[in-house]
């Protein structure tokens, strides 16, 4: 695993967040979306409504789960400045690893969430919109990094969008591999592996 094992408090926080998501999805599957309320989610997850709101702003948030977002800190600044390795795609991989460290997921939730989203077009649309926002975040970060190399704004936009789409494709690949894998693998590790494989493809060193 790439990062250190979380402490007891962090494990409890993740377990509570996971329990809330599990409860919300199972209510939706078993009883329909109209049965999903904050009170019922809280009851099934064995938390108070106040605790629920410490984790999610509303019931839709619990159903949709967490979307990645770029870290607005030293990791993003290092990327924009040209680091940490000096290779755009490899550095994007590092940035996305930082973005996904806080994602709390359980393989068993993936199929349940997909089932709920297929039955709820409005939730599916919200998920797609949030992913578009994340893509725009990645594009902005890439654009800031390469702006000095591409003074033409059209070329800058095209290059930034292409790099973002390639990076997000690698993220999806890692997600699929992780969700399909047996054993105690971690999303961060799969993401690192996917970007290493992408680098091999790009450099034509794949055998």
Structure confidence at residue 132 as a pLDDT band (50, 70, 90): very high
- Tell me the pTM: 0.77
- Summarised one tens digit per residue, pLDDT across range 71-89 is 778 889 999 999 988 989 8
Question: Per the CATH hierarchy, to which homologous superfamily does domain 1-65 belong?
Answer: Homeodomain-like (1.10.10.60)
Please answer whether residues 88 and 146 qualify as being in contact, where contact means their C-beta atoms are separated by less than 8 angstroms: yes
Confidence (pLDDT) at 205: 53
Long-range contacts of 107-113 (CB under 8 A, 24+ apart): 107/178, 107/179, 108/22, 109/18, 109/21, 109/22, 109/25, 109/65, 110/179, 112/22, 112/25, 112/26, 112/29, 113/25, 113/63, 113/64, 113/65
- For the chain, give every domain's residue range: 1-65, 66-106+113-207
Question: Per the CATH hierarchy, to which homologous superfamily does domain 66-106+113-207 belong?
Answer: Tetracycline Repressor, domain 2 (1.10.357.10)
């Amino acid at each position: 695993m790439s990062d250190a094992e979380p402490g007891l408090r962090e494990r409890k926080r993740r377990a509570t967040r996971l329990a809330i998501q599990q409860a919300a999805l199972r209510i939706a599957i078993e009883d329909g979306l109209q049965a999903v309320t904050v009170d019922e989610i809280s009851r099934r997850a064995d938390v108070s409504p106040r605790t629920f709101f410490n984790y999610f702003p509303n019931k839709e948030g619990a159903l949709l789960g967490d979307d990645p977002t770029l870290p607005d800190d030293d990791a993003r600044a290092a990327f924009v400045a040209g680091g940490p390795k000096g290779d755009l795609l490899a550095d994007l991989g590092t940035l996305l690893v930082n973005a996904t460290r806080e994602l709390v997921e359980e393989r068993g939730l993936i199929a349940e969430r997909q089932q709920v989203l297929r039955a709820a077009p409005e939730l599916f649309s919200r998920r797609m919109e949030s992913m578009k926002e994340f893509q725009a975040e990645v594009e902005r970060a890439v654009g800031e990094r390469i702006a000095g190399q591409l003074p033409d704004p059209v070329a800058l936009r095209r290059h930034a969008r292409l790099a973002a789409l390639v990076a997000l494709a690698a993220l999806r690949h890692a997600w699929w591999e992780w969700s399909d894998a047996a054993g105690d693998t971690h999303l961060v590790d799969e993401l690192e592996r996917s970007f290493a494989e992408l680098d091999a493809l790009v450099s034509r060193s794949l055998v």
